[in-house]
Amino acid sequence: MSTVLYITSNPKSEKDSYSLKVGREFLNVYKVKNPGDSLFEIDTFKAGIPIIDKDVLKGWNRLISGTSFAMLTMEEQQKIKRIEKFTEQFIAADKYIFVTPMWNFTVPSMMKSYIDTMCIVNKTFKYTENGPEGLLIGKKAVHIQASGGVYSQGPAKDFEMGNKYIKNICRFLGINLAQSIFIEGIQADPNKTDEILNAAIVLAVKTAEVF
């Protein structure tokens, strides 16, 4: 039995978003195949994820220099606790489904804030003599990304930083990114919209069956 996090980052409703549509298809198939799993949905636009601000940095630094948690200011305590809640939930999971639109070549800033709660030294990675080492070995992920343009091939390939970012973060933490599913070029040619969406759904269903 696995614990699965379905992590989205989109202010749109499912009916208006290609990535959320494909994500939901993935999830529906996954649920049928794995009825005993625990599934949690995190909408990063609604989850109230704290950003790493002055309070968080000051609080972390004070903890490192030996100050007890109780001696931190209320703001520092609350924000750090809230970040820890997301980190612990992430560590407790076995599988992750990231669903994002491409915004300005990468993921929306709310997903970036969420990723900042995933990358915590000595919890999800550690420094060793040989450099940083991920601590989430054995866990796996899928990334579903919708973009107006095409990036998996062609002249814009180098501009793609959304999937590349998720891929590298997973690698950094020791997570196996088992599959990336792109819904790309969907706005470039309206005649191809259905074809592109359906191909992504087929791949999502196939991936969900074995994830």
Ligand X SMILES: Cc1cc2nc3c(=O)[nH]c(=O)nc-3n(C[C@H](O)[C@H](O)[C@H](O)COP(=O)(O)O)c2cc1C
How near is the Cβ of 26 to ligand X at its closest, in Å? 13
How near is the Cβ of 154 to ligand X at its closest, in Å? 12
Nearer of residues 134 and 149 to ligand X, judged by Cβ: 149
What are the structure tokens assigned to 196, written together? Answer: 């592109």
122: left (phi over 0), alpha (psi -120 to 50) or beta: left
Nearer of residues 125 and 151 to ligand X, judged by Cβ: 151
The residues near 143 (Cβ < 8 Å, ≥ 6 apart) are 98, 99, 100, 163, 166, 167, 177, 179, 180, 181
How near is the Cβ of 55 to ligand X at its closest, in Å? 28
Nearer of residues 28 and 104 to ligand X, judged by Cβ: 104
Nearer of residues 146 and 201 to ligand X, judged by Cβ: 146
**Chain positions contacting ligand X, by CB under 6 A:** 10, 12, 17-20, 101-105, 146-149, 186-187
**Chain centroid, CA 134 distance in Å:** 16
How near is the Cβ of 200 to ligand X at its closest, in Å? 11
Nearer of residues 148 and 154 to ligand X, judged by Cβ: 148
The residues near 42 (Cβ < 8 Å, ≥ 6 apart) are 5, 6, 7, 8, 89, 114
How near is the Cβ of 70 to ligand X at its closest, in Å? 42
Q: Cβ distance 118 to 171 under 8 Å?
A: no
Q: Give the CB-nearest residue to ligand X.
A: 101
Packing angle of the helix pair 109-118, 74-92 (nearest 10 deg): 80
Q: What is the Cα–Cα distance from 87 to 42, expressed in whole angstroms?
A: 13
